[in-house]
Amino acid sequence: MATARDYGAELDLLKFQLDDLRQLVTKLVGSSPSKRIQEGFEQRDSALGSIRAEEDGAGTIYYSGHIRDEERSYRWDPQERQIRQLLELDGEKAAKVLAAISHKQRLDILKSVMVQPLSGSELVERLQMGTTGQLYHHMKALLGAGLLVQEDRGGKYSLPPHRSLPLLLLLAATSDLLDTSDYIDMLETRNHVASYIGAPQGEYDPHLLFRAVLQNCILEHQAGYCSEVGVFLQTDGGITIADNGRGIPLHVLPGTEKSRVQDVLTDLSRLNASAAYHSPGSEKGITMGVVNALSERLSVEVRREGKIVRQDYQHGIPQSDLVTVGVTKETGTSITFRPDRDIFAAAFDKDVLSGLISDIGAAHPELIIAFHS
CATH code of residue 294:
3.30.565.10
pLDDT of residue 152: 77
Do 229 and 187 belong to one domain? Answer: yes
Domain hosting 104: range is 91-159
CA–CA separation, 80 vs 74, rounded Å? 18
Q: Please, is 138 exposed, middle or buried when counting C-beta atoms within 10 Å of its C-beta (0-12, 13-18, 19+)?
A: buried
- For 104-129, the pLDDT digits (tens) are 888 899 889 888 888 888 888 888 88
CA–CA separation, 292 vs 340, rounded Å? 10
pLDDT of residue 355: 96
Minimal CA–CA distance to 337: which of 358, 311, 357, 361?
Answer: 311
pLDDT of residue 271: 55
pLDDT of residue 174: 81
pLDDT at residue 30 tops 60: no
Q: What is the mean pLDDT of residues 162-187?
A: 82
**What total of structural domains would you count in the chain?**
3
Do 68 and 106 belong to one domain? Answer: no
User: 198 pLDDT band (50/70/90 cuts)?
Assistant: confident
Domain boundary residue among 65, 87, 109? Answer: 87
- For 328-361, the pLDDT digits (tens) are 999 999 999 999 999 999 999 999 999 999 999 9
pLDDT of residue 64: 80
pLDDT of residue 24: 53
User: 180 pLDDT band (50/70/90 cuts)?
Assistant: confident
Say if pTM beats, i.e. exceeds, 0.85. Answer: no
pLDDT at residue 46 tops 50: no
Domain boundary residue among 63, 87, 111? Answer: 87
Q: Distances from the Cα of 177 to the Cαs of 11, 66, 125, 181, 182, in angstroms? A: 47, 24, 30, 8, 10
| pLDDT, greater one: 370 or 57 | 370
pLDDT at residue 248 tops 90: yes
Domain boundary residue among 72, 87, 102? Answer: 87
Do 74 and 95 belong to one domain? Answer: no
Q: What is the mean pLDDT of residues 22-50?
A: 45
CATH code of residue 116:
1.10.10.10
Residue 306, phi then psi, degrees to nearest 5? 80, 5
Residue 227 falls within a domain, yes or no?
yes
pLDDT of residue 71: 66
